[in-house]
Structure 1
């Protein structure tokens, strides 16, 4: 008969790391979701968790640093394709670049956690949130920062067109 400890044993994975993935993903995801962006809570938690799981597997399969670096490199490449999927062109302007960058940061957080840097991942999450929230406030404070693709919808352009 399996004991509770056997059922809760995750092998190479750690409950604390999964909790760290969930919390970091939740906080970045809630910022994105409340703004109506394509990378919300579920997506954020899944990206961090997925990259953590792949990296933790890579670490558990081989303690050779080069093998782990190959796993890391393949994850980065794969996540680049995921990020490219959220970018699109509309009216000659590219949209979704920040969401693609967020996906890359989310995967980096998962890799950090997979390599044992849980506390540092929390600090990076806070820094990412500071960028996502703080730069928006700065852009809204300075008219010169709201040009081009950063121009708010519904405002008149320099030619008086809407």
Structure 2
């Protein structure tokens, strides 16, 4: 009987490993080891919760409530997933990874409860969805923020030209700071911009787009 339970933990770990490999291939915070341990650990807790406790009353083995440990796995893994979420360049990162950790725990619990088809089916579903939704659908891509330091010639119409180029590309200025530097004919504006870029594909075109403005002297990504 315990060998069958061990098999459930192994199968759950393999499902978690597959999801972790997909996350690792995208350079995400939690990879193969994290997802493997979460899935195997969740399956173990589910098996313990379901089969590990018996109460002998009058010589009869009576199973206790199998949900009491399993319920703690859901809340405990939620706390683990929160550690994957952080703020970078005014953009929240790690939400998908945190959700993946939580779902991986669910897969482990399903297999631990002897629901092999459900657990393996959800693993395939998650892998297929990640592959499909990372295939370049514009409506799926989340906006990104970029911080740039720009040296701009202090000439009439320079700021207007830069703003027009950004607006034409659908880029929004979130924060803006400007300082004047130099004197005489070498006057320039030193700008620090935080920009919201519509999609990942547009971010690659950001630097060439700004450099095409004649008054731009240099652009640095911070």
Shorter-chain TM-score: what band? Answer: 0.7 to 0.9
**Structure 2: runs of 5+ lacking an equivalent:** 55-62, 145-197, 211-218
Decide whether the 8 Å contact of 2:30 with 2:97 is kept in 1. Answer: yes
How many residues align? The count is 147
Match of residue 52, structure 1, among 43, 46, 51: 43
Instruction: Give matches, 1:79-94, under 5 Å.
Output: 79-94=77-92
Match of residue 6, structure 2, among 12, 15, 28: 15
RMSD after superposition: 2.5
Instruction: Give matches, 1:19-30, under 5 Å.
Output: 19-30=10-21
Residue 112 of structure 2 corresponds to 114
Q: Which has the higher contact order (CA 8 A, sep 6+)?
A: 1
What is the TM-score when the length of structure 1 is the normalising length? 0.79
**Structure 1: runs of 5+ lacking an equivalent:** 1-8
Larger radius of gyration: 2
More helix by share: 1
1:156 is aligned to 2:147: no
Decide whether the 8 Å contact of 2:12 with 2:40 is kept in 1. Answer: yes
Match of residue 43, structure 1, among 20, 25, 34: 34
* Superposed structure 1 runs of 4+ greater than 4 Å apart: 159-162
Match of residue 32, structure 1, among 23, 33, 38: 23
What is the TM-score when the length of structure 2 is the normalising length? 0.59
